[in-house]
Each structure stands twice: as C-alpha cells, then as structure tokens.
C-alpha cells in the first residue's frame, strides 16, 4: 500500500517545475517554485483531489522558510503516511521539507532489493527513509549518519513505527559526514552498500559542502576506503544543473530514467548513479 505520491505538477517549456501538488495520505503539500497567488486555486485542488488540507511551501525564496495552511483544516500531530507498506512520520509545518522525498520512492525500492544480509551505510541520511527500507529488507546492519540530531531522532522514530531495531547492529550517528568517514577509515570499517544523497549545499561551523564541487573527492574516498569488494555506491543529487565529474564517469552507471517515478516525468527531480568497486 502507498498513500503518498505526486498528484499533479506544472512545468514550463523546458520541463522546469513551476509548482506541484504532493499527497501525503489525506493532506497535500503545494510546492511553489515561482511566485503566484496560490490561494486562487488551492480550494479547487483541495476539492479535486478530496484532500482535508493543503500546505504551501514557498521554494522561490530560499530565505523564506515559511509554511502556510492555505486550504482546508490543519493536520494532526504527529502525522503519518505509508509508502510500499512502510510507515513514515510527516511534519508539514516545522521544517522546510516534510520528512519524505517522494521522488525517491523507486530509488528506495531498487537499493533495498540488494540489502539482505548486507552492511549498509546511509550518509546524509535525513529522516532515514532509505535506512528503513534497507532494514525492512533484511540488512545485516544499517548505519545512518546525519549532522542534525533532530533528523537522527526522527529516523529512530521511523524505525520504531516499522517495528525495526534501533539498537546494534543498527547505528545512528549525529555528526558531520566527513568526521564519520575519518572514524570509519581509521577503524577500517567497510560496507557492502553505501547510499549518498547529499544536499546541494550545506554549512556547519567548520566547513561548507557543495555537491558539484565536492562529489568527486567524496565518492573516490568512500570507494577507496569504505566499500567492500563487489559492493556498490548509490549516489543521487537534486541539483538541477549537476554534471558528474569526468574522472568518475567511466565507473558510473546512470540510473535516473529508472529511479524517477512516472508522475514526476518529464521533469527530473533528481539524478542518480551507481558506482561499483
């Protein structure tokens, strides 16, 4: 069972998204990438798709982290949705994103199909949706790493929702990914499957991360030090103009056409690649 998906979207002539409506069970999230008077048609969308409420996420101004209920009634807290029979906690108001990226539904399925009895590392793990899929498919261990302690606790709650073990051998690390990599390299820890779905840009007290600038070094470091023989890296980015470094290209199989759900096409919400050891 799945009760969350993209319902409709509006693209320009170059297939760049203008706005989209995503469904999380009985509630919708209107993703706005251009400034329009969304109140004019929010009630029509509410009625058309039989939703209880619609929240507006303003994506056109990166400095404006404001979510507004623009139609219907507010959602109860906490709120949950189901994707492929797995349950996930959703938060419509308190963060820029709600906790589950719907464009990665197929990505999560594809990666998790290979996880049985494997050690999995999920870097930039956010609320742990990839981790939940992998643990549910019988991974030997799943290690989730994210700088945000809030997201790590959210990940644990998603594990509990699905009756999955939050104790060893599964691990949850609230720390900078590069600091974790240093520890893993020093301890000679390796994994069969490594998931890398980083933000386009992030900053902490000591450094910044830019996916276009930093992906080559990150992938090569992981490939060389953390990936077991016959293992693979799943790498994805939502940076629209991302170009894979030519140095990496001979070792990559591009998966984007396979991993983008039909309801997102002809848009391209992410690019995805697999790297082997």
pTM comes to: 0.96
Within the chain, all domains assigned CATH 3.40.50.150 are found at: 102-276
For residues 236 and 268, the answer to whether their CB atoms sit within 8 Å is: no
Q: Predicted confidence band at 64 (pLDDT cuts at 50, 70, 90)? A: low
For residues 155 and 170, the answer to whether their CB atoms sit within 8 Å is: no
Within the chain, all domains assigned CATH 3.30.750.80 are found at: 4-90
Residue 62, pLDDT > 70, answer no
Instruction: For 136-193, write each residue's pLDDT tens digit.
Output: 999 999 999 999 999 999 999 999 999 999 999 999 999 999 999 999 999 999 999 9
Instruction: For 191-207, write each residue's pLDDT tens digit.
Output: 999 999 999 988 877 78
Fold of 102-276: Rossmann fold (3.40.50)
Angle (CA) 188 157 260, round 5°: 75
pLDDT of amino acid 166:
97
Q: Compute the radius of gyration of the chain from its Cα atoms.
A: 19
**Among the CATH numbers 3.30.750.80, 3.30.70.860, 3.40.1350.10, 3.40.50.300, which is that of 4-90?**
3.30.750.80
Instruction: For 25-52, write each residue's pLDDT tens digit.
Output: 999 999 999 999 999 999 999 999 999 9
pLDDT of amino acid 207:
83
């Amino acid at each position: 069972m799945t009760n969350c998906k993209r319902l409709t979207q509006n693209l320009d002539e170059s297939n760049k998204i203008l706005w989209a409506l995503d469904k999380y069970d009985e509630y919708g999230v209107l993703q706005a990438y251009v400034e329009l008077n969304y109140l004019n048609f929010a009630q029509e969308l509410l009625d058309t798709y039989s939703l209880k409420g619609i929240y507006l996420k303003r994506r056109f101004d990166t400095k404006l982290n404001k979510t507004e209920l623009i139609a219907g009634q507010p959602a109860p807290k906490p709120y949950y949705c189901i994707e492929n029979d797995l349950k996930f906690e959703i938060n419509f108001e308190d963060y820029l994103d709600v906790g589950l990226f719907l464009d990665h539904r197929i990505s999560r399925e594809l990666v998790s199909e290979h996880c049985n009895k494997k050690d999995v590392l999920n870097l930039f793990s956010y609320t742990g949706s990839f981790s939940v899929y992998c643990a549910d498919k019988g991974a030997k261990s799943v290690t989730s790493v994210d700088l945000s302690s809030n997201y790590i606790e959210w990940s644990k709650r998603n594990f509990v929702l699905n009756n999955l073990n939050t104790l060893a051998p599964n691990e949850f690390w609230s720390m900078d990914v590069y600091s974790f990599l240093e520890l893993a390299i020093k301890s000679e820890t390796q994994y069969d499957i490594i998931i890398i779905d980083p933000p386009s840009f992030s900053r902490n007290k000591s450094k910044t991360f830019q996916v276009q600038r930093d992906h080559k070094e990150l992938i090569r470091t992981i490939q060389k030090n953390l990936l077991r023989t016959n293992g693979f890296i799943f790498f994805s980015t939502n940076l629209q103009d991302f170009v894979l470094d030519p140095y990496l290209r001979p070792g990559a199989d591009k998966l984007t056409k396979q991993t983008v759900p039909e309801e997102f096409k002809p848009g391209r919400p992410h690019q995805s690649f697999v790297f082997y050891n």
